[in-house]
Structure 1
Amino acid sequence: MEQGAVQAIAGDPLLDLARPEVLRDPYPAYARLRETAPVFWHELLGSWVLTRHADCLAVLTDSARFASDWRRAGEDIPAPLLSVQTLDPPEHTAIRHLLLDGFRAQDRQALHERLESEVRTLFAGLETRPSFDFVGDLAEPLALRFITAFLGVPAPDLDWFVPMSRTVVDGMDAGLWPEKNEPAVTARAELAAYAGGWLADPPKEGLIAYVAEHAESSGVEETILRNSLRAVLHAGYESASRLLGNAAAALLTTPGALDAFRTAPLATAVDELVRYDAPVQADARVCVEDTDLGGVTIRAGDPVTLLLGAANHDPLRFARPTELRLDRAPNPHLGFGRGAHACLGASMAIRLAGSVLATLAGRYPEARAVAEPCHRRNLTLRGLDRFEVTLRPREAGEEVRT
Structure 2
Amino acid sequence: MIYIDRLIVIFLLGGFAMLTMLVIFNPLKVNRKANVWLGLFLFLWGTFWIDEAAEILGIASIGKPFLFVLNFLQFFTPLTFYYSAVHFTNPGFSFSLKELRHLPLAGLFLALLSLSYFYDKADKDILRAWLTVIMLVQSLFYALYSCEIINRHQRKIQQFSSDTYPISLNWLKYIAYTILASGIIITVYNIIFIAERPGTYLNLAFLIAIYFIAYYSLKQQEVYPVGTQQADTVFSFQEESKTNEGPKIKLLGNEETELIKQRLLGVMQSEAPYLDGDLNLIKLAQLMEVTPHQLSYVINTGFNENFFQFINKYRIEKAKELLADNRNNNLSILGIAFESGFNSKTSFNITFKKFTDLTPSEFRKKSSDL
TM range (shorter): under 0.3
TM-score (norm 1): 0.24
- Higher strand fraction (1 or 2): 1
Larger Rg: 2
Which structure ranks higher in relative contact order (CA pairs < 8 Å, sequence separation ≥ 6)?
Answer: 1
TM-score (norm 2): 0.25
